[in-house]
Amino acid sequence: MIQFDTVHKRFPNGTTAVHDLTLDMPEGGVTVLVGSSGCGKTTTLRMINRMVEPTSGTIKVGGKDVTRQDAAELRRSIGYVIQQSGLFPHRTVLDNIATVPLLLGHGRRKARARAAELLETVGLTAEAGKRYPHQLSGGQQQRVGVARALAADPPVLLMDEPFGAVDPVVRTQLQDELLRLQKELNKTIVFVTHDVDEAVRLGDRIAIFRTGGHLVQCAPPAELLARPADDFVADFLGAERGLKLLSLKTLAEVPQGPAPDGGAWTLVRDEAGQPTHWRSADALELPVRPLKDGDSLLAALDESLASPTGLVARVDADGVLTGVTSRDDIHRHAGRAHAEARVAA
């Protein structure tokens, strides 16, 4: 666990970046710090590994006061990923990843073997390890940055706007990759972003800051969206709070029934049992977007509105049809999700 106890940061020019912050960041979870520019979220992150020293207060990582540890050793024990990846341009990708293990005294062969493992872990080929950073795309460079941060297997990973410099499609892919990695590795992650949608998607807890380094609210995403602490938080989360809440709930518990066969519309399947399209009685064909149990209620709502029947095709992990779900059932569960979140808050 990472603990901030009345931490204050005032810079020499008199600017207060963080104001008496008391905050716990649970072990094995993703805590996302959000807020507008200048609200202190990056300063908060950088005080954890002492790249910025607190003016007062106590910061503990795993129960140990960070200011009582050697700064260089502390930083080697904490993974750190920044927006521009921060790779060494004159070193190959493999050697970039091996940097921290080498600093920790691991032999070159062992460090490079670890780097090769991590290339695969973050979804890159062995061939990519032979290249230099400028020969990779922005998204690939960010994956290398994540791999390098994980190379020494640190319990804590700090991520400062790591996906902010890539296009939206790549950004979504990198978010997916981080969620997959976190399921496998169970790190304590502190993630800074200004993007509310990214925070909701990635965070187990979201801490919202306002100008002057004041923490306004910290809560799980569903609680935050259902019951913002004040108008500032509500405005920051935006008018589509309800839709964001639906993005957190899945189809898993929504009932399904048999697909229509004959009548006004038929759901056509291929030989493997995978749905391909809707076909009307007069042979009109319209696309179908099948969904799995893990897909969100928001995606289901969108598909039910696009579907000519108001039905959503449900498939298993292999894409084989398991049934269909009605628009009414999706609406009913969406309303229940709102109600449950308000009660929990």
Distance (Å, whole) CA 139 – CA 133 = 11
Task: Collect all residues with Cβ–Cβ distance below 8 Å to 76 and sequence separation of at least 6.
Answer: 100, 103, 104, 152
3-state SS record for 113-143:
HHHHHHHHHCCCCHHHHHCCHHHCCHHHHHH
Assess whether pLDDT exceeds 60 at residue 34.
Answer: yes
pLDDT tens digit sequence for 183-204 = 988 999 999 998 888 999 999 9
pLDDT tens digit sequence for 232-287 = 998 888 877 777 888 888 899 899 999 887 788 999 999 999 999 999 988 899 99
pLDDT at 102: 86
**This model's pTM is above 0.85:** no
Out of 58-67, 96-105, 122-131, 333-342, give the one with best mean pLDDT. 58-67
Structure tokens at 30: 């993703």
DSSP string covering 219-256: E-HHHHHHS-SSHHHHHHH-TTHHHHHHTTSBSTTS--
pLDDT at 223: 86
Task: Collect all residues with Cβ–Cβ distance below 8 Å to 135 and sequence separation of at least 6.
Answer: none
- Give the 3-state secondary structure of residue 101: helix
- Chain-centroid distance of CA 125 in Å reads 23
Please name the residue that has the structure tokens 């807020």: 35
pLDDT tens digit sequence for 210-233 = 998 999 999 999 888 888 889 999
Residue pair 25/44 in contact by the 8 Å Cβ criterion: no
pLDDT at 42: 93
pLDDT at 340: 60
Distance (Å, whole) CA 161 – CA 173 = 15
- Mean pLDDT (the chain, rounded): 89
Q: What is the mean pLDDT of residues 121-143?
A: 89
Distance (Å, whole) CA 121 – CA 118 = 5
Q: Pairing state of beta strands 275-280 and 285-287?
A: antiparallel
Distance (Å, whole) CA 298 – CA 247 = 5
Q: Which is higher by pLDDT, 173 or 58? A: 58
pLDDT at 6: 96
> Residue 121: pLDDT band by 50, 70, 90 thresholds?
confident
Q: Pairing state of beta strands 156-160 and 188-193?
A: parallel
Domains (range + CATH), the chain: 2-244 (3.40.50.300), 265-341 (3.10.580.10)
CA distances from 142 to 124, 135, 170 (A): 11, 13, 10
> Residue 19: pLDDT band by 50, 70, 90 thresholds?
very high
- Dihedral angle of Cα 123, 126, 132, 135, to the nearest 10 degrees: -60
pLDDT at 341: 54
- Chain-centroid distance of CA 169 in Å reads 14
Please name the residue that has the structure tokens 């202190």: 40
Q: What is the mean pLDDT of residues 312-320?
A: 94
> Residue 345: pLDDT band by 50, 70, 90 thresholds?
very low
What sign results for the dihedral spanned by CA atoms 117, 120, 125, 129?
negative
